[in-house]
Amino acid sequence: MSNTFVLVLVVITALGFDFTNGFHDTANAMATSIATKALSPRLAVGISGVLNLVGAFLSLAVAATIASGLVDTKLVTLTVVAAGLAGGITWNLLTWLFGIPSSSSHALIGGVIGATLAAAGGHAVLWHGLVSKVVLPAVFSPIIAALVAATGTYLLYRISRSLTDGARGHGFRIGQIGSACLVSLAHGTNDAQKTMGVITLALIVNKSVPADSKAPFWVILSCGLAISIGTYLGGWRVIRTLGKGLVEIEAPQGMAAESASAAVILLSSSFGYSLSTTHVATGSIIGTGLGKRGAEVRWNVAGRMATAWVFTLPSAALVGAGAYALAHVIGGTTGVVIDLVILVAVATVIYLRSRANKVDHNNVNDEWTGSAAPAEPEPAAA
Amino acid sequence: MSWINLSAIWKIVVFGLLAGAGLPAIFAMGLYSLSRGPRVQTAGGGDSDGLVGGSVVGMAVAALCFLVVLAAIGWGIYEVYQIGHPAPAK
């Protein structure tokens, strides 16, 4: 059965995406804890990985949005899902190479939408679902997170102003560890869900499960595992940008930022909004810079991120559409296989390029010099 | 069908502020209470990172604050679980 073969390929690719998702997003939970040295880098990514797995089981609302709320499942084929995944992974890896905390969710959704557009045209996309559950949350969530984080930062410094710097740092580092753990948990409830949604979509398309079904247990478990392994391996480049590049962070700010992120992500997950944990974490970190007098926000770094955010949906959509076109021209199972072979090749090239100026747990906290990789000039060419 | 679910955004802002800024503030009050007492260090008076001031009342209030924070987190996670696993439709 070639269909089963393609389905297996799609599931493997989806889990691969989930892995890059964890890898890319470790930063959202742990960047500030690593930057303030509340946790050692290794321990931080380990805890985060475990909690992502737990979070994957906590809520299934977002998986439902992705599986049946964005595209018309009757018009989508397995080839479309595979092409969409190729788009999402490619964009995720490229932004990781440049240390830009862009949204894995938007990369995935963009890829799937692009492939659907190429395959079946505009009527196969549920635009209302896309705008109300993906695009608008993307605009609102960083603003809400920034507001919450700024308020929290102000309160924390106000309440703790009679403490010595040492005592304050000590106390809030403990609080920060707790709040960072909650962000990891929240990340599992939102991001692990997205891959579950895509695999469920593939199963629905293949008629392996009914159209309105929830993610089966093996899907939840494998997605949780993939994202937690990715998280454990840690995207040190992005951790560096978020923890050191945007704002210089003290422990109370780290706690405020992470509490804000955790609260906003968990609340939104409950409503089934597939928001970007990346956007929320970035909003929170900027907010915490705004909430403390004299703190400096590096707006040029923030601007670079925002640009990447705007481009994420359309770029991933383009790659997704291209991948579909290629698979369609070649046709059948061979087309899908060739798509995925190209994807692996691209991933390998990006990985090799990243070795040239490595960021890992040893140099992740080096002084910020304006680029993702420390003590190196800007990468010569894109 | 409306494009923006205002009631959801409103809820996310209010509960976000309560949980995301309010709970850390209670935690901060706990730290503040904990630092009261005979061994109190005032700002600028050295860089000791000792957290416990030694006042019994302070420690009791601090314990209460930390308990409130933990309980709120536990309750919040329970709620998310409840909402995320609706009873199967008939």
ipTM score: 0.84
Per the listing, tokens 């978020």 go with: A242
- Mark which residues 174-233 of A lie under 8 Å from B by CB: 175, 178-179, 182, 185, 189
Looking at CA atoms only, how far is residue A149 from chain B in angstroms? Answer: 7
Yes or no, beta carbons of A61 and B84 under 8 Å apart? yes
Q: Report d(CA A96, CA A362) in Å as an integer.
A: 18
Q: Cα separation of B31 and A162, whole Å?
A: 11
State both tokens at A3.
Answer: 């269909």
| pTM summary value | 0.82
What percent of chain A has a predicted confidence (pLDDT) above 70?
90
Residues A93-149 pLDDT 10s: 888 777 777 788 888 889 989 999 988 888 888 888 888 888 888 888 899 999 999
Q: Which of A156-160, A222-226, A275-279, B16-20 has the lowest mean pLDDT?
A: A275-279
CA distance B57 to chain A (A): 17
**Beta-carbon contacts below 8 Å between A and B:** 152
A129 touching chain B per CB within 8 A: no
CB contact (8 A) between residue A164 and residue B45: yes
Which residues of chain A have a CB within 8 Å of the CB of B73? 178, 182
Please state the rounded mean pLDDT for residues B9-16.
89
Coil, strand or helix: which one is A275? Answer: coil
Confidence label for A374 from pLDDT (cuts 50, 70 and 90): low
Confidence of residue A379 (pLDDT cuts 50, 70, 90): very low
Most B CBs within 10 Å, among A62, A155, A164, to test the B interface: A164
Q: B-chain residues within 8 Å CB-CB of A267?
A: 11-12, 15-16, 19
With tokens 């707790």, the residue in question is A178
Residue A255 touches partner B, C-beta closer than 8 Å: yes
> B3 and A131 in contact (C-beta within 8 Å)?
yes
For the segment A337-359, what is each residue's pLDDT rounded down to a tens digit? 888 888 888 888 887 877 776 66
Q: Please give the single-letter amino acid code of residue A230.
A: G
pLDDT of A373: 58
Average pLDDT, chain A: 82
- pLDDT digits 0-9 by tens, A239-263: 777 766 666 678 888 899 999 999 9
**C-alpha distances out from residue A68 to A48, A118, A125, A355, B61, Å:** 29, 19, 11, 39, 49
Q: What is the pLDDT of residue A296?
A: 72
B84 vs A60, A128, A148: nearest CB: A60
Give dist(CA A230, CA A187) in Å, integer. Answer: 13
